[in-house]
Structure 1
Amino acid sequence: MGAEKPSGEIVASLEDLMAYEYLVQAGNLLPSHPVYSILAGRHASKLRGRGLDFEEVRQYVPGDDIRNIDWKVTARTGSTHSKVFNEEKERPTFMVIDQTSTMFFGSQRFTKSVIAAQAAALGAFYTIKRGDRVGGLVFSDDEHNIVTPKRSKALVQYFLQLVCTANEKLIHRNRVNVNTARLNEMLDRTLKSVTHDYVVTVVTDLSNHDTETKKLLQRLSYHNDVICIHISDPMDEQLPDGKIILTDAQHQIQWQNDKRSWGTKYKRSSEDFRRTLKDELRRYGVPVVFYTTVDPVEKQVRRDMGQLTSQR
């Protein structure tokens, strides 16, 4: 007899992810709120164009139409600047999907890595439905794949297969690899892969992040719309009462919530992290969506569609 197939709540299957096409086609799964519309890309945005509503002047970025260079500002500042116009038009979407070992965790229903896969499927199919191009970067502890955005269902299937492949490999890992530089390396690769006027969606639990991570997100936001989807588990916010053993397969500790107020401090630390993350990224114009491992992504979107009103 062959090995039993793992549950779709532990490891995502391509069949499960492709089902999101029907969820998206069946109705307006995502609300019309401008923050969520970033997932689809088509909205009033800063785009190159002529004979359109003038929006602003910004520093020239390679790829800008030279016909839109503002020569007066360029002469005054000594650096090349371009005129930017408003137009509702397609925008390429680039999704950064974290499938590192820290994502292979879930205390209730799903693993973080499966929720990230669901978010990738939802965003990809919604983008295609709106007529925009979609691609992205899928990365694990030791591998990554970049897919150039295209307007193609076949490409979406290929992209989601890459997610599933990385997702499935997690079940065979015997230790958690804490590597802060990995996420930063992938964000740096994203900076090299996109130019401007992209929609960049970063899906991660941010277990491995530092000041450099936020700087990279800020740099991405200069000429693109960036949205951060943060995935957490209830045990990231509060550990159960009683004596428990925590381990990363290399080290272990005995934990007890009521010992020296460990539980209270742990919960407060989690709350502070979420608040600080939201406040800091808001300054860069980067909204944060919080997903958990408790419910499938589509249920969380329907339930929390108004959560970002105060962030934009």
Structure 2
Amino acid sequence: MTTAEILKKVRKIEIKTKGLSSHIFSGEYHSAFKGRGMSFSEVREYSPGDDVRTIDWNVTARFSTPFVKVFEEERELTVMLLVDVSGSSLFGTAQLNKREMITEICAVLAFSATTNNDKVGVIFFSDKVEQYIPPKKGKSHILRIIRELITMQPVQNRGTDIRCCLEFLNNVMRKRAITFLISDFISEEYEYPLKMAARRHDLVGMQVYDRMDMELPDAGLLQVQDSETGASRWIDSTHPATRISYTAGFKKQQQYNTETFLRAGAQLLSVRTDQDYIKTLQGFFRARI
């Protein structure tokens, strides 16, 4: 992909997702994620109905009339995007493949965060941490993130290891952050680091999967290749036992993911590549208000 093609793609995603974040998600995002607490803003004259516990006695004594302290919510937050860039993220049979949908979701979340003056950081991972972009504010920073989302390719490691990503997060992020873990969740066990991360951060998982992750097409004899290991084999996609086994493997992984997030006290969302991720995000934001 040439530089011109990358910039064109970045611009296209910016136009689409920035509009969504401004017109659809801005209010929901602000309401869904609260600030870290209340900080002193100013003092003003007492009005009937004000809580007497907020009276500033020093100012009141100085002016011989009651004044109260006004507090406001500390809004500045940090949003961390944990993004799966493994080989399986490039798979898709709908209009968008998994990586393309993940890119759009991340862009919407990033623009929503920056509209509220929050910092955004990213951890790209496969079966190792591929790249870490520390949290920062600003449009140019968000555009850099989108560019990396489009171009990121694991050098050698194409598997998925959610454990290594969460362990890295737990080491580098000491302060509480809103954390979105976005993956197809085709991974080995990751329960312990997820629990540790969920205790420290406001953690939300978002599974992006394709219809063919859950069921084989009835297309006869097929040569298939594992996009993460590179192993290939022939399968008879019309054979009932093959189709049942394939779907059972997907359901088993789904059950593990669901139960693991539940035990960690974290929320797991799910969206298929042929579904509308906007509705999924809207439902999530509104449920938290």
The DSSP-based 3-state class of the residue aligned with 1:222 is helix
Determine which of 174, 198, 201 is the counterpart of 1:195.
Answer: 174
Residues 200-251 of structure 1: per-residue CA shift (max 9 Å, x gap): 11111122x222x221111111121001111111111100113222123743
1:134 equivalent to 2:131? Answer no
Residues 149 and 177 of structure 1, relative CA distance in 2, 3 Å threshold: closer
Q: 1:311 & 1:41 partners in 2: Cα distance? A: 8
Partner of 2:158: 177
Cα gap change, 1:187/1:280 in structure 2, threshold over 3 Å: closer, same or farther? closer
Q: What TM-score results when the alignment is normalised by the length of structure 2? A: 0.73
Structure 1 counterpart of 2:159, one-letter code: V
Measured after TM superposition, the shift of residue 18 of structure 1 is 1.3
CA contact (8 A) 1:111 1:293 kept: yes
Q: Which amino acid aligns with 1:43?
A: F
The change in CA–CA distance for 1:275 and 1:13 in structure 2 (over 3 A counts) is same
Cα distance in structure 2, aligned partners of 1:276 and 1:140:
19
SS in structure 1 at match of 2:121: strand
Asked whether the 8 Å contact 2:32–2:285 carries over to 1, the reply is: no
Secondary structure of the 2:200 match is: coil
Name the counterpart of 1:23: 20
Q: Find the partner of 2:213 among 233, 236, 239.
A: 236
| Aligned mates of 2:199, 2:84 — CA distance in 1 | 22
Counterpart pick for 2:233 among 231, 250, 253: 253
CA contact (8 A) 2:32 2:288 kept: no
Are 1:275 and 2:255 counterparts?
yes
Corresponding residue number in structure 2 for 1:95: 81
TM-score computed with the length of structure 1 as normaliser? 0.68
CA RMSD after TM alignment? 3.5
Asked if residue 44 in structure 1 is aligned to residue 34 in structure 2, the reply is yes
Aligned-pair CA distance for 1:272 = 3.5
Paired residue type of 1:89: R
Gap change, CA 1:105 and 1:158, over 3 Å in 2: same
* Aligned AA (1:93): V
Percent identity at matched positions?
15
1:99 is matched by which residue type in structure 2? V
1:52-91 mapped onto 2 (5 Å cutoff): 89-91=75-77
Shift of 1:140: 5.0
Long gaps (5+) in structure 2: 41-71
Tell me the distance in 2 between the aligned counterparts of 1:126 and 1:304: 12
Map residues 100-179 of structure 1 onto 2, 5 A cutoff: 100-139=86-125, 144-166=130-152, 169=153, 177-178=158-159
